[in-house]
Amino acid sequence: MDIRDRIEFYRNKRGWSRLKLAEMLEISYTALKNWYNEKQCQPSLRTIQKACAVFDITMTEMFSGVSSEESELSIEQRALLEVYDKLSPRNKKVVMALAKGLVEE
C-alpha cells in the first residue's frame, strides 16, 4: 500500500469526501485528485505531515499502517528491543540467559 492508499484509507475511515480532505489539508481538490489519476504525482512531505495531524495519527502510523492502539508492545518493550537490536550476537545470548534467569517460575 503506498502513501496515497494510506491517506485514502484514513479518509474513508473518517467518512470524509475527497473535497473535505482537500479542504482539511489546505490543498486544491485538483491537486488531491491528481494523486489518484497520475502515477508520478505524490503528496508532498508537508501534506503528509498535515494529513497525519488531521487524522490524529503519527507519521509512523501513516507509513506502517499499524496504529499505536493496535501495537502489542509497550513503549518500554520497544525501547528494550531497540537496545537489544544493537547488541552483538554474543551479548544477545548473555541478555537472553540473564532475562530467563530473572523470570520467576
CB < 8 Å & 24+ apart, contacts of 12-17: 14/55
Cα 4 from Cα 76, distance rounded (Å): 32
Residues 38-94: tens digit of each pLDDT: 878 889 999 999 999 999 888 888 888 666 555 566 778 778 888 888 889 999 899
The reported pTM is: 0.61
81 & 59 share domain = no
DSSP 12: H
pLDDT, position 61? 85
Q: How many C-beta neighbours within 10 Å does residue 34 have? A: 15
The DSSP line for 14-40 is HT--HHHHHHHHTS-HHHHHHHHH-TT
57 & 17 share domain = yes
Q: What is the CATH number of the domain that holds 12?
A: 1.10.260.40
50 & 78 share domain = no
pLDDT, position 17? 95
Cα 22 from Cα 32, distance rounded (Å): 6
Q: In 3D, which of 15, 19, 49 has the Cα closest to residue 32? A: 19
Which residues constitute the domain of residue 98? 73-105
